[in-house]
Amino acid sequence: MSVMSSVLLLAQEQAPAPTRAEAPPLTAIWPILIVLGAACLSVLFEALLPKHLRWPGQVVLTLLTIVAAGVKLVTYVSGAPAAGETAMFGTLAVDRPALFLWGTLLALSLGAVLLIADRSVEPGGAFVATAAIRPGTVQDRAQVASTGMQTEVFPLTLFALGGMMVFCAANDLLTMFVALEVLSLPLYLMCGLARRRRLLSQEAAVKYFLLGAFASAFFLYGVALLYGYAGSVRLADISEAAAGSDRSDTLLFAGMGLLVVGLLFKAAVGPFHTWTPDVYQGAPTPVTAFMAACTKVAAFGGILRVLQVALESTQWEWRGVLWGVAIVSMVIGAVLGLTQTDVKRMIAYSSVAHAGFLLIGSIAVTEKGLSSTLFYLLTYGFTTIATFGVISLVRDSSGEATHLSQWAGLAKRSPLLAAVFTFLLLALAGIPLTSGFVGKFVVFEAALADGMGPLVVVALVASAVAAFFYLRVIVLMYFSEPAADGPTVTVPGAFTTAAITLGVIVTLLLGIAPAFALDWASSGVFAIR
């Protein structure tokens, strides 16, 4: 706490007193204001509405919030200055990459909220209030009908989304830290709200909280050291000090290392990924989808901004280290993914491998590296949400059937679901005519253009190894006999159907006609102010 207090005090001392002439323009940040304002309203809904009205009220409010924020974003983008602008007294940089990331987050959160809101796959919904039942107990249908769906998850989702949007556009490290906590704390709670497998869910929440707090400490200590070096927490001031200063580089490199460790943890980049498989497995599957897609976008948005704005002039010092981190992440994800017998843990290690691919694009501190990474985040997010939507439909008497042996012969039980899951797995593997192939292609192209040929070779080998465990699941579904007492495929409700359909359509369209998204991702660079 002493480190945080010192940083806050020093930041307050250096910040100029706002005047009437400096009033921040709100036009640029209306999407954030809408999301955070609706989150506060959602809390009031939870406190004031009768129990039977909470679910429809929260669902309508959340979906309208995302749509309204998206409309405001599109309206602003049409007339936004190409060079970007700052808002909230310079704490937020609303530039083209930030706008792309905001649009990606809103689109992905729409799919995730549809999964969260569904009450047909799991009777009464997938969530339960923490104090509603004892850990380890299972509610029957009568209990579920009497209690209804717990709706605390909706304000938590909106607060997390608002924190992610601020994190992507933060123009100084203190704003980034506050946004990191705003997006993280709701996720810690959401991971422990599973109606089934209560102990596993609560264990996941505790692990995520403890490791997340540890990573936040790294991040904050790095902020303190960088402030000691540059005399400022603004990214532009750190960049200026790093480009030409007679001060000792010890503070710079120590602060940079600690800061990047905190960011890599949130992005689930190996070897800072240890929370990922346990949390992905234990959290309610709709929360896992939201976390896997949206948190990855926010985390890499922060990584890109820090590396390309604050630390660009020192890239020759950190580039070699991040080469090694990217290789470790790809190897861990590909090799350990082969050993998994739980489909959610397998996708978790897949995300670690994909984080390594994304880090390759982030290391390429060029316009092409930036645009390719942004595009990859978009493609990976939609594929991931649809993947977890499919996983939620394969169930037995105890809930989701996530052990791979239970997926044997699934194509004979549900040919359509097996075909959809096959397509999504091929997209994650990077097979042509899917968005995954285009995403990897543009990232590897950017890396080759920036002289990272050896790293691309390692990435291609890791992709080939990772493809094996995707193909293993496909072979298991199509060429194995289903067990007599095997799981059933639940007929999805309208919300889950819409989420899966959205993910599949976007995955297909971005694999066949990616030009529009690539052009938008290439429309500008980070503003340095």
Give 196-229 pLDDT, tens digit per residue. 777 888 888 999 999 999 999 999 999 999 999 9
Q: Copy the structure tokens of residue 199.
A: 């102990």
C-alpha 193/C-alpha 172 separation (Å) is 33
pTM (2 d.p.): 0.91
Short-list 397, 86, 337, CA closest to 406: 397
Torsion-angle region of residue 270: left (phi > 0), alpha (psi -120 to 50) or beta?
A: beta
**Three-class SS of residue 277?**
helix
Short-list 512, 352, 334, 337, CA closest to 435: 512
Amino acid (1-letter code) at residue 447: A
Q: What is the pLDDT of residues 345-373, one digit of tens each?
A: 999 999 999 999 999 999 988 899 999 99
The neighbour count for residue 213, using CB atoms within 10 Å, is 12
Short-list 370, 354, 353, CA closest to 362: 370
Which of the two residues, 102 and 85, has the higher pLDDT score? Answer: 102
Q: What percent of the chain has pLDDT over 70?
A: 90
C-alpha 284/C-alpha 222 separation (Å) is 33
C-alpha 103/C-alpha 73 separation (Å) is 7
Q: What is the pLDDT of residue 194?
A: 81
Q: What is the pLDDT of residues 325-339, one digit of tens each?
A: 999 999 999 999 999
Angle of the 343-363 helix axis to the 296-305 helix axis, nearest 10: 20
pLDDT class for 381, splitting at 50, 70, 90? very high
Statement: residue 274 has pLDDT above 60: yes
Q: What is the pLDDT of residues 428-487, one digit of tens each?
A: 999 999 999 999 999 999 999 988 999 999 999 999 999 998 999 999 999 988 877 777
C-alpha 264/C-alpha 215 separation (Å) is 9
Which of the two residues, 316 and 132, has the higher pLDDT score? Answer: 316
pLDDT class for 297, splitting at 50, 70, 90? very high
Statement: residue 14 has pLDDT above 50: no
By the 8 A CB rule, do 436 and 430 touch? Answer: yes
C-alpha 482/C-alpha 465 separation (Å) is 27
C-alpha 16/C-alpha 140 separation (Å) is 59
Statement: residue 132 has pLDDT above 70: no
Which of the two residues, 483 and 45, has the higher pLDDT score? Answer: 45
C-alpha 21/C-alpha 25 separation (Å) is 11
Question: For 55-64, 145-154, 288-297, 301-310, which range has the lowest pLDDT when averaged over its residues?
Answer: 145-154
Short-list 445, 468, 248, CA closest to 338: 468
DSSP code for 293 = I
Q: What is the pLDDT of residue 529?
A: 66
By the 8 A CB rule, do 109 and 71 touch? Answer: no
C-alpha 336/C-alpha 351 separation (Å) is 12
pLDDT class for 26, splitting at 50, 70, 90? confident
Short-list 74, 65, 79, CA closest to 36: 65
